[in-house]
Amino acid sequence: MTELLDPEIRDVMHRLAERGVSSVEFMTAAASTAVDDREVDIDLATLEVSARRRPILAVAAVLVLIAIVAAAVLASGSSGPRPVEPAGTTLQWRQLAPSPLSPRLGSASVWAGDRWFIWGGSATADESRSYPGDGATYDPASDRWALVPDGPLSGRTLADAVWTGGEVVIGGGWSGTGDSTRPDLAAYDPATGTWRALADAPGPISRLEMVDGVVVATVAWNERMSLASYDPGDDSWSTPVAADLTVGPAPSFESRQHYATLGGDRYVAGDNRLYRNVFGRDPLYELSDVLQFRSILATERELLVVGQGAVGDNRDDRRTVVRYDPATDRSRIFEVARSDPGIATTTLAGNTVALVPNLSGDTVELFDLGTNRWIDAPEAPVAVGRLEPAVVWTGRELLIWGGATQVEAEAPLAETATGAALRIDDLSPPELVDEWREIAPSPLSPREEHVAVWTGTEMIVWGGRFQGGGTVVENEDGSVSVSGSAREGDRLTGLRDGAAYDPSTDTWRRIADAPFEGDYLHRAVWTGTEMIVVGRDRLVEEPDAAAYDPATDSWRTITAPPIDRGLHEFELLMIDNGTLLLFSGSQNNATTAARVDAYDIDADRWTPRAIFSGVTRINEAVVVGDEVWATGEERQADGSVVTIDLRSTNRGESWGWSPFGFTPSPDSTTGVWIAEVDGDLVTVAGDRRTDAVTTFWDINADGTPLVGGNSVRSTTETARSLPNTGFDFLEQIDPVVTDDGALIIVGVLTESIRRGPDGGWRSIGDPPVSVSFGHSGVWTGTDLIIWGGRADENGGSSVATGAAYRPG
């Protein structure tokens, strides 16, 4: 066959596809045949399944239904990547049609299925306040308003409203008299246009919510704050929803408490503190005292707490979104500086937190939950910065109406009856959880066997070497790639440059060049302030040793370790804030024994700690309690190599190393890595003979944590086999242990895997960049970031691409 041009490939591809699938018979003829066998009907238009004719066959129908529902659940993303609509950002304002309501602020509003319900509020009238008791509905599809008939409630401001699915329930609010909110409520049925009064709540209502289909009121009386649930059956209230929330003074309606319910827990934010279930004691989270929480929003799995305040001498206003995940008890805070004076209200608009500014501001502020970035919306057709507006998210648009505005800086406040709608489409994909994503192109040339450390804010990548015989090409986006493949005999080029990657901004910065070139023999560790690199060029007598300080973007040479040229395979381990251990050995040198040396960072001094006779090298070492546990290889008399393990207690100058003997099948394993997972020491090993089997062990047979305080409970050391992963791999980066104890391993030649809380393993899929070996990996606390390496296990060139995986 002659070489195909692109159009020819396209043509053949279309012909092949048409040949392979001539029609969609599975939905028509073929499906109905299959379905007939199961005695069920499939409605092709709706894809619904129902039993038919013979009742005895209903069981079969149910089984098919379960299978199809399970397939739907699978396809909807519960066990795999969730599809998202392609990005196509749309942020577009329109002005709402003039409303029939008078200008006002503090109206209650709620989205009522297909229309927006707005009721009550307050307005200035002849230098006094009025409290209108009328309302209206707005249909965004037709941009039309309709007045709501008068109901049983007196006019009031700052009432709350919820939608039950059939009725709007409205209650609470302040009617201009008294020192507390009102306890009375009423329900409005938009289908019939009728109102009915409901029984009073057991106290002044601060907030109404729908919790599991029940109307729940936050009420406060007798200096207590509690929850009351409404029973529509006998039109009564009960208060068993939760224990009293208040241990301090009860909040008033004028106070700044904010509430949300998530996973059965009640969250209250007051001032700069966030509480769970109990208010006023043991805050769950505390902002800097110059910041104040302004609202709590709950998604299906996390709490979004929005705050604001002034920080620093320039008095810039700050916006803060704290993302709190109760499942992991982990908080992430995202802050941005703003010059606007404040936030009027916030709402969850799809995958975006929308902040409506207070008084001044031509548009809203958006925080994109998909990318954790703040986004500027275009200017609105009317000023949307206003005091106590009504705001709602329809699923497509953010609607803002009413409130009080300030035409000029010195002008008095004036209520308004104007409104605007912001269409928000596909701002970003949902946050990538349990999925890989590609990270930004790096400024570094392709490389492999480089080192990488996580500083707490950045991933520093340095050194390594370049394998390639192709041409280095600079891409349009600034990244660098190599065209063509390496051939046998191509030179490996050592590299002395590096860069730092900030995942919060998805950006890179170059770092200063090191005083020596990288090689595959270098190792690095983060001390808390510096990245220390130790290693050697095999052709040079003196080992390399230097420290990089990201604060000054500079390197300093440190004392080199006292090891001879025969030792060139290293493992570097930080055992406390002031001491490093360097394990060195050589797989290829039968006469040289592996050894360990300790480095005192402050004194810049190396001290020999042990020489392991017969041991060729140490593969991995970890700190478990106050001991160091390591695995390595030992050469036998017949020349074979077996896996060995060693442990030693950190006792200053008098370390003693001894075998601890749990390595599985020492004569058949290779590449043993170890990691501590919730007190278990887990080993990860490939099978030396077949390179196909992976065995996992830990030494915690009864589930009791091995590490109690700072000591290892040796009495519980019994090995047990963990489930086999079912995946083959020959080599991998160090296992990564997540905050919830999961273990992630990015394999070579195969899928990456993750061990879940149940101990089982599952694939986490392929990264969106090609990796085979020689890549680096760091764990940021939320993400596993891999970068560089070789894409093709059979040759090819080094790469300069990376990806991040965030466990779900």
Restricting to residues 122-161, name those near another protein by CB under 8 A.
158, 160-161
DSSP string, 240-257: -SS---BSSSPPPTTS--
Task: Report the nearest approach of another protein to the CB of residue 174 (Å).
Answer: 11
Task: Report the nearest approach of another protein to the CB of residue 652 (Å).
Answer: 48
Continuous segment of H or E residues that includes residue 333: strand 330-338
**The binder of another protein chosen from 490, 770, 782, 808 (CB under 8 A):** 770
* Footprint of another protein on 293-332 (CB under 8 A): 295
Q: How far apart are CA 164 and CA 699, in angstroms?
A: 53
**Please, which residue, 444 or 453, has the CB nearer to another protein?**
444
In the block, which residue shows the tokens 């600079």? 474
List the 680-687 sheet strands across, edge first. Answer: 669-677, 680-687, 694-700, 717-722
**The binder of another protein chosen from 175, 345, 358, 695 (CB under 8 A):** 345
What angle is formed at CA 371 by the lines to CA 87 and CA 364, rounded to 5 degrees? Answer: 85
**The binder of another protein chosen from 475, 718, 721, 724 (CB under 8 A):** 475
Q: How far apart are CA 499 and CA 548, in angstroms?
A: 12
**Contacts with 117 (C-beta within 8 Å, 6 or more apart), sequence order:** 109, 110, 111, 135, 137, 148, 161, 163, 168, 188, 190
**Contacts with 449 (C-beta within 8 Å, 6 or more apart), sequence order:** 464, 465, 518, 519, 520, 774
**The binder of another protein chosen from 662, 697, 727, 773 (CB under 8 A):** 727
* Footprint of another protein on 661-690 (CB under 8 A): none
In the block, which residue shows the tokens 């003997």? 661
* Footprint of another protein on 729-768 (CB under 8 A): 750-751, 763, 765-766, 768
Per the CB < 8 A criterion, the answer to whether 131 and 176 are in contact is yes
**Please, which residue, 231 or 474, has the CB nearer to another protein?**
474
Task: Report the nearest approach of another protein to the CB of residue 761 (Å).
Answer: 12
Tell whether residue 584 is a contact of another protein (CB under 8 A).
no
Tell whether residue 481 is a contact of another protein (CB under 8 A).
yes
**The binder of another protein chosen from 104, 182, 207, 806 (CB under 8 A):** 207
**Please, which residue, 107 or 586, has the CB nearer to another protein?**
107
* Footprint of another protein on 549-568 (CB under 8 A): none
**The binder of another protein chosen from 62, 63, 75, 97 (CB under 8 A):** 75
Task: Report the nearest approach of another protein to the CB of residue 162 (Å).
Answer: 7
3-state secondary structure of 57: helix
| Residues 76-115, mask of contacts with another protein (x by CB under 8 A) | xx-xxxxxxxxxx------------------xxxxx-xx-
Binders of another protein: how many residues, by CB under 8 A? 95
**Please, which residue, 426 or 490, has the CB nearer to another protein?**
426
Q: How far apart are CA 381 and CA 94, in angstroms?
A: 7
Task: Report the nearest approach of another protein to the CB of residue 22 (Å).
Answer: 9
- Taking the C-alpha atoms of 759, 761, 765 and 767 in order, what is their torsion angle to the nearest 10 degrees? 60
* Footprint of another protein on 412-471 (CB under 8 A): 425-426, 429, 432, 435-438, 441
Tell whether residue 705 is a contact of another protein (CB under 8 A).
no
* 312 dihedral zone (left: phi>0; alpha: psi -120 to 50; beta): left
Tell whether residue 180 is a contact of another protein (CB under 8 A).
no
**Pairing between strand 435-438 and 451-454?**
unpaired
Q: How far apart are CA 318 and CA 483, in angstroms?
A: 46
Q: How far apart are CA 259 and CA 246, in angstroms?
A: 13
Tell whether residue 27 is a contact of another protein (CB under 8 A).
yes
**Please, which residue, 45 or 551, has the CB nearer to another protein?**
45
Tell whether residue 10 is a contact of another protein (CB under 8 A).
yes
Continuous segment of H or E residues that includes residue 648: strand 641-649
**Please, which residue, 20 or 412, has the CB nearer to another protein?**
20
- The one segment of 73-81, 230-238, 619-627, 646-654 that binds another protein by CB under 8 A: 73-81
Structure tokens at 671: 């590449």
Structure tokens at 421: 């709608």
**Please, which residue, 10 or 54, has the CB nearer to another protein?**
10
**Please, which residue, 39 or 209, has the CB nearer to another protein?**
209
- The one segment of 195-203, 339-347, 563-571, 674-682 that binds another protein by CB under 8 A: 339-347
Tell whether residue 33 is a contact of another protein (CB under 8 A).
no
Exposure of 639 in the CB half-sphere (CA atoms within 13 A): 1
Query: What DSSP character marks residue 30?
Result: H
A 10 A CB-CB count for 480 gives: 17
Structure tokens at 389: 């507006």
Tell whether residue 19 is a contact of another protein (CB under 8 A).
yes
| Residues 379-418, mask of contacts with another protein (x by CB under 8 A) | -----------xxxxxxx----------------------
Distances in Å between the Cα of 426 and the Cα atoms of 181, 423, 733 are: 40, 10, 36
Tell whether residue 472 is a contact of another protein (CB under 8 A).
no
Task: Report the nearest approach of another protein to the CB of residue 786 (Å).
Answer: 14
Tell whether residue 701 is a contact of another protein (CB under 8 A).
no
Structure tokens at 529: 């302030």
